[in-house]
Chains A and B, each alone.
Chain A
Amino acid sequence: MQSVHALEVRALSKTYGTGDRAVRAIDDLTFEVEPGEFLCIVGPSGCGKTTLLKCLSGLLRPTSGAAYLEGTLIERSPDGLALVFQEYSRSLLPWMTVGANVRLPLLGRRVRRSERRSRAAEALDAVGLTGFEDKHPWQLSGGMQQRVAIARALAYQPHLLLMDEPFASVDAQTRADLEDLVLDVHERFGITVVFVTHDIDESVYLADRIVVLTHRPTTVEEIVTVSLPRPRDQIATKELPEFMEIRGRVIRLIKGETGESDEGDDIPAGVVAAHEEVPE
């Protein structure tokens, strides 16, 4: 069992639409994530990062190739996988309290009510939101709402945590706090994390390895290993010469990429047909 990857992406590609209107979003992606690893994915804007995460979480079916979670082919939403969306305001349920939101993923499982409560309390404690169970998400600040979304993922006790630009819409200080929170959670629970971001500093600060993607149609440009010591620190780590060096390397990789391609960034509206979504 030693050799089983936490996540394995094999020659995965995704094309939206057919014929003349076909848009190749992902062209042949291959990489692996090891158990307990913190992997960041960065790339130029519009390079299909969200498409990739949708394929990994079983929401979209790849056109060809495959992804395996702990050796099992991902067809529908797999067990043991949690996803934190970019926009907390759209993925949290405003009609439920914070506590009910965090307990929600446990409804699909055979978990007793008392255990649901204790797991939710534990998850809220891990993100520093004890005492906010009975509030509604919209009564909290943006950063706190994203903490609720993270707590919801933790309560599910996933083996793999996918995060889709989770801190893109919070201010800088909150962002730094949330980065440290995710590092702490990763350390404490030993969860494998795949973290998509467009912020290069963030990716270097968080990751064990960084997958740098090319412009659309997307392939892996390079996989950069980040051998910075842990635990990381917002000031000390970022002052290390090695941090600057890796940061510069990733920036050059991405810049070189965007320089040579002038294609439009966005997938044209209407190309994503409903029938391409994975059926229920």
Chain B
Amino acid sequence: MTRRLRAILLELWLPVLGIALWWVLSDDSTSPFFPPLRRIVEAFRDNWLFARIDTDLVPSLTRFVEGFLIATVVGVLLGLALGLWPLARRALAPSIDFLRSIPAPALISVMILLIGFGDGMKVAAIALASTFPILLNTIDGVRGVEPQQLDMARVYKLGYWHRITRIVLPAASPQIFAGMRVALAVALLVMAFSEMFAGTNGLGFFIVFAQETYRIPDMWAGIVMLGIVGYAVNLCFLAFERRILRWHRGWRATAQER
């Protein structure tokens, strides 16, 4: 129990200290840009408990989840194809490298022209930008499958489907998950940015709109909310990853012992 308490203290000391300092130092602030934390907390309560959950938080999260799921499916399937098929990889690698070098926000302006200002554009922008880390990691993971495991599959005459689902995908899964973790951050960024750029609701829109109308405490409350969302999404993903990759941690731990 004391060990658990120590672990929690070790993780929380900095956030607690930071918030305490912020609270004390900003308490008598008269600057319109840096309002006292007290007022930001009030603004947070007024907006996020729970008035704007339906109108702004849920739409943001929906776009984020849709975009991220599309990116995962496209990234893994395309990565599988390119990882298994060297000719396709050589044919497409330069184009992929070019596309992924364009900063995601720049793509949003093109998306607006092509798809318009709606939800579809935002989901597409999130999906496009976060596909690349998943795609590249999947290709690497698929290419790194232990050759002896593939030999084994051939000797035992496993079909293509079983080779993919029982050997290639599980073997590549640690790298796929690493790519998804990066993609998660990209998806959040593009979500917020697309809403700031062309939104009528959502977290990004809320922050920009508050700023433009000089509701500075609201703006800060939005930023805090965005941080909480990002942190929570990461925690959920890590819990999911821990479940799926439990074998990988065990296997690596024993491999290091030897």
Answer yes or no: are A and B bound together in one complex. yes
Contact mask for chain A residues 78-101; partner B; CB cutoff 8 A; 1 contact, 0 none = 010111010100110111100000
A59 at the interface (CB under 8 A from B): yes
Q: A91 to B151: give the CA distance in the assembly, Å.
A: 9
* B108-162 at interface with A (beta carbon < 8 Å): 146, 148-149, 151-152, 154-159, 162
Instruction: Determine which of B162, B167, B251 lies in contact with A136 in the assembled complex, contact meaning CB atoms within 8 Å.
Output: B251
Main secondary structure on chain A at its contact with chain B? loop
A63 at the interface (CB under 8 A from B): no
Check A104–B166 contact: CB distance below 8 A: yes
Contact count A vs B, C-beta below 8 Å: 73
Distance in Å: Cβ of A112 to nearest Cβ of chain B = 16
B255 at the interface (CB under 8 A from A): yes
Check B154–A90 contact: CB distance below 8 A: no
CB contacts (< 8 Å) of A90 on chain B: these are 146, 148-149
Check A104–B158 contact: CB distance below 8 A: yes
Check B158–A108 contact: CB distance below 8 A: yes
A62 at the interface (CB under 8 A from B): no
B151, B152, B171, B250: residue with the most chain A Cβ atoms closer than 10 Å: B152
CB contacts (< 8 Å) of A54 on chain B: these are 151
30 A-B interface contacts by CB (under 8 A): A57-B155, A58-B154, A59-B154, A77-B156, A77-B157, A82-B155, A83-B151, A85-B152, A90-B146, A90-B149, A91-B148, A91-B152, A93-B166, A93-B170, A95-B170, A95-B173, A95-B247, A95-B248, A96-B170, A104-B158, A105-B157, A105-B158, A107-B159, A107-B166, A108-B156, A108-B162, A138-B251, A138-B254, A139-B254, A156-B156
**9 tightest A-B CB contacts, nearest first:** A105-B156, A94-B251, A95-B170, A108-B157, A138-B254, A108-B158, A90-B148, A95-B247, A138-B251
Known contacts A82-B156, A95-B171, A96-B166; 13 additional CB pairs below 8 A are A58-B154, A59-B154, A77-B156, A85-B148, A90-B148, A91-B149, A94-B248, A95-B173, A95-B251, A104-B156, A108-B156, A108-B158, A138-B255
A contact set with B: CB distance below 8 Å: 54, 57-59, 76-77, 79, 81-83, 85, 87, 90-91, 93-96, 104-105, 107-109, 136, 138-139, 156
